Each structure stands twice: as C-alpha cells, then as structure tokens.
C-alpha cells in the first residue's frame, strides 16, 4: 500500500511528472497482469506502459481489450522479441506458453522436480526476428524509461545487454525473474545477472521468493518439509538506484529523478526508502520544497495505523 504517493498526488506534486513503464513478457494471464489498474494506477493519467511479447495474438488481444476500456493512461503491446542483438534467434515454445524462452528447456534436469517437467516441456521451436530495447527506443524516440519488468524465462540478461544505453540514461528500477539453477540449457543465472546490474549502478533491493512454484521438491520423494518446500529454483529480484551513494550516475542527481525514485519505492511497498529519499530531497533542494514535503510526510505518517509505524 502506497503511503506517501496518494498525498503527494493530491497536493499536485505528480501533475507535471510522467512515468514510463516497460514490461517484457507482457502476456496477460492473471488479474495482476492488468498493469495500469494495479499499483501503477497511482501515476495515471501521467503514465505510459509499453508491453512486449513474442505472441502476436496475445499482443493484439491486449490492445483490443484496452480499446474497449475507458483507461486513463496510455498502454500499448508490441509483438516483438527483445534480445541483445538485432537479427534472428530460435524461440523454444513450451507446452505451458508462459515458459516459452530463447533458451531450450533443460528437460532432464526439470524431470527431477515435481510439477515442473510437463509445464516447461518443449512443444516446438521456431526461428524469429529479434531486436533490442535500445533500438526500439531510438526508433520510437523514447528518451526515458523509469521502471523495467522482465519475465522471459532465462533471457532477461540478453534484454539488459541490449538496453545499455537506456539503462545508463534513465531507468530507476528493475524487477526481473532470476534463476538459481539451469531450468533452461546454458541460460544465465542470478550469479551472472547480478554483477551486470551492479556494474551499471543498480543495487539489489529484494529477492521475492514467496511464489508457490519458486521452491520445488524432488519428484522421487513422497515427503517434504512443510517449512522448506524443496530447492529454491527461481525468484523475482528487485533492483533500485541509490542517488545517495558517492558513485551514483549524474542523471540521479536531478531532483525530479530522486522524486520519481521515492514514488516508485513507495508504491513497491518500501516506504522506509521512500521516506529517506523524500527527506533527502526536501533537505537538499530549497526551503519552500522542504516545508511542503515535510508536511506531507508528517500527515502521511500520522494517518497510518499505529502497528505500521
């Protein structure tokens, strides 16, 4: 639940701020995939969402559904496969379509875990055209992306490698799926992704492991612990910028970027970081701003139930 953003929005602080979100692997399969109606609604109408998915029909359906709704934000889905190069690649389509990847499923390894092998089992492989996020941004004249979602079954590092320009230009936060075991053949693991993002001045903020399929027991075993349900195979990793570090990038010293980052931290349920950033912002950029922001912080904290302080 956002603590500070609703009051900041009410007081007009978001009137001239625009947020751009990119979702790679944007097929809408669950209710929480209706991105603009979820946490991002806090930023509407000054909100743009770009979605990318290999499935052209899924993108067309998503765009048609958006046209039917009276949405108060901009959203469009593109049938493009993002990678690290512009060219051709093999797409491995699985029985469970949400497990389709640029990497081939490691079926021998997957068969050792319960409830995994059939879902990620290879259905067929096709040759597809790929592009990069940097190339897309250049073609569409997109100068700014604030938050990046990546959920593309092991190919997340490829997309990041094809987005180096926009990474260093504007992106404030990234949430991506990371694997700790080779669910796909020759795929990068968390140990490959983390150094890349740290090199680009992102800080690991959280590992979200509460998905029911993140931990899987061995298929051979009829027993497993109710507390530790098997091996941790994957998680969602959240990375955020930190403008208070000495080696932070130049664009992070812009007060608007710090404010955006504070808003992102708030709606992502890290109000402590949002408070730190808002306090830094108010103390660094002028007395008038300080009075306004501090008043909003005080009001927002007072309105909370006592057990959330």
pLDDT tens across the length of the chain (309 residues): 899 999 999 989 999 999 999 999 988 655 556 788 889 999 999 999 999 999 999 999 999 999 998 899 999 999 999 999 999 999 999 998 889 999 999 999 999 998 887 788 999 999 999 999 999 999 999 999 999 999 999 999 999 999 999 999 999 999 999 999 999 999 999 999 999 999 999 999 999 998 888 999 999 999 988 888 899 999 999 999 999 998 788 888 888 999 999 999 999 999 999 999 999 988 887 666 667 777 888 878 877 765 554
Under 8 Å between Cβ of 88 and 129: yes
How remote is the C-alpha of 134 from its chain's centroid?
17
Distance from C-alpha of 27 to C-alpha of 296, rounded to nearest angstrom? 37
Q: Which helix (H) or strand (E) holds 160?
A: helix 156-161
Q: What is the token pair recorded at 274?
A: 């949002």
Q: How far apart are the first and last CA of the chain?
A: 14
Cα(35)–Cα(228) distance, integer angstroms: 31
pTM for this one?
0.93
Residue 92: the pLDDT is 96
Closest CA to 254 of 198, 199, 172, 173: 172
Give the CA dihedral 298, 302, 306, 307, nearest 10 degrees. -50
């Amino acid at each position: 639940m956002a603590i500070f953003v609703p009051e900041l929005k009410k007081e007009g602080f978001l009137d001239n701020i625009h947020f751009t979100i990119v979702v790679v692997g944007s097929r809408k399969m669950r209710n929480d995939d209706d991105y603009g109606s979820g946490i991002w609604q806090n930023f509407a109408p000054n909100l743009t969402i770009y979605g990318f998915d290999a499935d052209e029909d899924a993108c067309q359906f998503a765009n048609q559904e958006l046209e039917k709704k009276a949405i108060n934000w901009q959203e469009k889905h593109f049938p493009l496969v993002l990678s690290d190069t512009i060219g051709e690649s093999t797409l491995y389509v699985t029985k469970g379509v949400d497990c389709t990847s640029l990497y081939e499923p490691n079926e021998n390894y997957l068969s050792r875990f319960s409830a995994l092998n059939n879902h990620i089992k290879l259905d067929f492989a096709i040759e597809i055209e790929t592009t990069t996020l940097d190339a897309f941004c250049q073609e569409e004249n997109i100068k700014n992306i604030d938050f990046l979602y990546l959920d593309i079954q092991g190919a997340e590092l490829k997309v990041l490698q094809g987005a180096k320009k926009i990474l260093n230009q504007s992106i404030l936060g990234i949430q991506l799926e990371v694997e700790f075991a080779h669910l796909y053949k020759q795929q990068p693991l968390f140990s490959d992704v983390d150094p890349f993002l740290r090199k680009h001045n992102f800080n690991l903020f959280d590992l979200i492991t509460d998905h029911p399929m993140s931990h899987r027991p061995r298929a051979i075993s009829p027993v497993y612990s109710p507390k530790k349900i098997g091996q941790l195979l994957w998680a969602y990793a959240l990375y955020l910028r930190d403008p208070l570090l000495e080696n932070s990038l130049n664009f992070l010293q812009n007060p608007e970027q710090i404010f955006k980052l504070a808003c992102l931290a708030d709606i992502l349920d890290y109000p402590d970081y949002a408070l730190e950033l808002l306090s830094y912002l108010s103390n660094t950029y002028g007395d008038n701003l300080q009075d306004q922001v501090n008043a909003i912080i005080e009001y927002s904290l007072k309105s909370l139930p006592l057990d959330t302080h």
